[in-house]
Amino acid sequence: MSISREEAIEFVSGKLGIKEVCSQDLDLSLLNKIIRALLSEVPFQNIFLYNVPPEKRFPSIEDVINFGLTCHGGVCIHNNWFAAILLKSLGFDLFTIAGMYAATWNSTDDHVMSVVRGLKDPEDPECSETLFLVDVGNGYPTPGAVPLHRLPHNFPLTAGLEIRYDKVGDLIYRMHRAGDPVEDPSSQKLGDGWIGKFCFTLKPKSPNSVKAVLENTFRIDPPSPFMSFMRIFRWPKDQERVVAIRGQELLFFGSDSSSHQEKKQSTFIELENLEEVIMKYFPSVDHKELKKAMPSIVRNMKLASEKEKLSS
């Protein structure tokens, strides 16, 4: 199953608001517009996983397309797989790859992404074999396509975060320096203050190749670390800061529109206000799915809190 070029154009024009998709060439500029709009309109969220039986938590292609076209969003496998389907339907030449997060350096790949081939690079117009990484399924903002054919590549300060992609040995790393909203002791130190968040190779891999490891990641009873609390993330259009909810914490990180100062702002959300806050900042989330998931979300957060108290 896939989507037609007409359906892809309708989605990008209507849901993502990129009207020029009908007339603009398939170039790097259009790709970056689509990436930025997906980060705004299709949130990273694990809410619906609390409602799905274990055997269906890893999505089918039908699930991926449904969660993408409705803008309900999902986690990395949903959002990045949907992006690959969408971009391929539009006519971009791409393949999918997979990498691993810092917390599982010695594990198997668990993060699916896309690599778009052959687009002209204004920064390197003579290069005929360009490779641009697309990652719209991350819990951190990636502001545009990453030129893997000319590494290292540093993005300008993005939502208060320093981001760098570089090759170290046989692996390509995504690195963070200042501004990371979550300290991760598992991250690998790579020098000059940079830490590795995840790594990957350019070996083509099917999204289904990560099924086994993600089925374990999506475990709810007992909850895996990933499912111990609710996670939601988006980067609203025309804003310089990201909004996220992690458990009962409402997070904004990036440049404040009034002061233009880079900072992280955190607010605690009372349980009785959680649904209202989610729908305020993440209006495309399915409200029925959210209400259905709340008992399991609250239970797992309480379990995680009790476990933390016992270990402290």
Q: What is the pLDDT of residues 54-110, one digit of tens each?
A: 899 999 999 999 999 999 999 999 999 999 999 999 999 999 999 998 666 557 889
pLDDT per residue as tens digits for the range 180-230: 766 666 677 788 888 888 899 999 999 999 999 999 999 988 888 888 889
Decide if pLDDT at 11 tops 90: yes
Domain boundary among 167, 182, 207: 207
Cβ count within 10 A of residue 224: 14
The answer to whether residues 127 and 229 belong to one domain is: no
Strands 146-147 and 262-268: unpaired
How wide is the angle at C-alpha 55 spanned by C-alphas 100 and 44, nearest 5°? 45
The residue segments making up the domain with residue 192 are: 5-207
Max Cα distance, the chain (Å): 60
The answer to whether residues 131 and 245 belong to one domain is: no
The answer to whether residues 234 and 192 belong to one domain is: no
Percent of the chain past pLDDT 70, that is, above it, reads: 91
pLDDT number for residue 299: 84
Domain boundary among 207, 235, 255: 207
The answer to whether residues 202 and 285 belong to one domain is: no
pLDDT number for residue 257: 53
Q: What is the dihedral sign for C-alpha 165, 98, 180, 262?
A: positive
The answer to whether residues 298 and 184 belong to one domain is: no
Nearby residues of 42 by Cβ (< 8 Å), 6 or more positions away: 68, 71, 72, 73, 79, 82, 136, 284
Residue with tokens 């209006």: 283
The answer to whether residues 152 and 81 belong to one domain is: yes
The answer to whether residues 107 and 255 belong to one domain is: no
pTM of the model: 0.92
Q: What is the rounded distance in angstroms from the CA atom of residue 165 to the CA atom of residue 44?
A: 21
Domain boundary among 174, 207, 240: 207
Decide if pLDDT at 258 tops 70: no
The answer to whether residues 133 and 245 belong to one domain is: no
